[in-house]
Amino acid sequence: MAKTKYDVAVIGAGPGGYVAAIRAAQLGASVAIVEKQYMGGTCLNVGCIPSKAMLHVAETFHNIDAMEELGIHFTKAPTFDMAKAMAFKDKVVKRMTGGVSTLMKANNIDVFDGLGSVDASRTVTVSQNGGSTAQFSADKVILANGSVPLMPPFPGIDGKNVINSDTCWALTTKPESIICVGGGVIGFELACMFNALGTKVTVVEMLPNVLAPLDDEVRKLLVRILSKRGIEIVTGAKVETIADAGKLKKVTASTEKGEQSFTAEYVLMAVSRRANTSGLEKLMEQGLDTDRGRVRVNDKMETNLPGIYAIGDLVHGAGLAHVASMEGEVASDNALGHAATMDYNVVPNPIYTFPEVAFVGLTEAQAKEQYPDAKVERFPWAAVGKAVAMGETEGFTKVITGKYGEILGAHIIGPDATNLVSEFSVAMRGELTTDEIIETIHPHPTLSEGLREAVLAVEGRPVHIGPKKQLARAR
């Protein structure tokens, strides 16, 4: 039975909120969690999980062309059923969100379905989805409201067939063509997915380069690979209007060369996401400190209002689910008297295109600016036996080290990059040096061998590629 007073109340049940709630419960607190739309938040319902399910479908379909070489033959050309693929995605989402609900019960966390409003006295009012209202108080409140797609005020943005990263999962038929407005991580993952399914994709980006956080060398290779597959990538193009053009949509953008127009069946808005501040109106009136639409916090995830914390997309940060989860743990620890601080120095960034991309730490340009004696080297997947056996030879692992052999950054483009990057994350967090990685035996044949070889390369002594080029760089 719901209480009228809790030790901790969490607003939002995404990967930041539900992890915060579980951590608080583990520490012995009575916990309530409020979710206005769906358990698991954006990530599990319309973000990380559905996109990865559909990217798996897309990559499988994309790989069919390579199966002939493996001796796998098809008697007729394969076809794609969008509705069935979406049903698979829905099944995955249902399993994951159901798992979160089970975790709430297992940890004796009271769940309130509805929009939660909070005031500075830490009173929570829930406008429940059934129309009734519930109210309770808490000693500590953790705000984990998440984010929503940013929809710039372009003329025509509210028109038919204009979708975003939340609503694209409602499609039941494959678009013949799509214009993706925004060349960031979300835009490129979706562009890669739709392209592999057979949709003609055009990416329109306002900035001079797409995928701004990426190391230049990695970005250029990924752009080259995806361009060869038929994705048209247009940079330096500021969208001005979206309009109907018969049965198609027309996007008009201004560029250095003048006005340019693009047409497609759908327009996918993937510009960015903004903090969801619904339910925080009273707190803002009462002085909640914000900066450019996000809540300001310290390294304990505390806001300027006593007993109120904020995490995830609501605050300035990486905008990553795994970071939100860690912030949730830090917030709960501090809320219950266990000192903890949030450290953003080692944050792995995964990008689920194919080939995958992942990085942690500094880019080559950043490292050379901050550390003049930094060393940089890369090792190609084409020289890794397991990658060759898998037919996944595009890309490389790049390692950047400092004066004492410390890892300053690592960048992977290639098979299973999003999993492999964790080795470098652990190394950086544990302050391991190149010697310690080199002296660690890596199993054969595996992709992880390529990580050790990249570290050997940065030390000027790779085993499975010729030494001349590498040693010349090392000097």
- CA terminus-to-terminus distance, the chain: 70
Contacts of 1 (CB under 8 A, 6+ apart): none
Sign of CA dihedral 292, 296, 299, 301: negative
For residue 86, the Cα-to-chain-centroid distance in whole angstroms is 20
**CA distances (Å), origin 381, targets 261, 390, 449:** 39, 11, 10
User: Cβ–Cβ contacts within 10 Å for residue 8, how many?
Assistant: 28
444 catalytic per annotation: yes
Q: Which of 56, 62, 73, 444 is catalytic?
A: 444
Cβ proximity of 351 and 218 under 8 Å: no
Cβ proximity of 142 and 11 under 8 Å: yes
Distance CA 160, CA 156 (A): 9
Q: Return the amino acid letter for 424.
A: F
Cβ proximity of 297 and 312 under 8 Å: no
What residue spans of 139-297 are helical by DSSP H? 185-196, 216-228, 281-285
Peptide bond just before 445 cis, omega within 30 deg: yes
> H or E element: which one contains 203?
strand 200-204
Count H helices and E strands in the chain, helices first: 14, 23
User: Cβ–Cβ contacts within 10 Å for residue 224, how many?
Assistant: 11
Distance CA 445, CA 450 (A): 10
Cβ proximity of 145 and 116 under 8 Å: no
Query: Counting beta carbons within 10 angstroms of the beta carbon of residue 209, is it exposed (0 to 12), middle (13 to 18) or buried (19 or more)?
Result: middle
User: Cβ–Cβ contacts within 10 Å for residue 265, how many?
Assistant: 17
Rounded to 5°, the CA angle 89-94-100 comes to 130
Largest Cα–Cα separation, the chain: 74
| Residue 443 DSSP label | P
Sign of CA dihedral 292, 294, 299, 300: positive
Cβ proximity of 293 and 318 under 8 Å: no
Indicate which residues carry an active-site annotation.
444
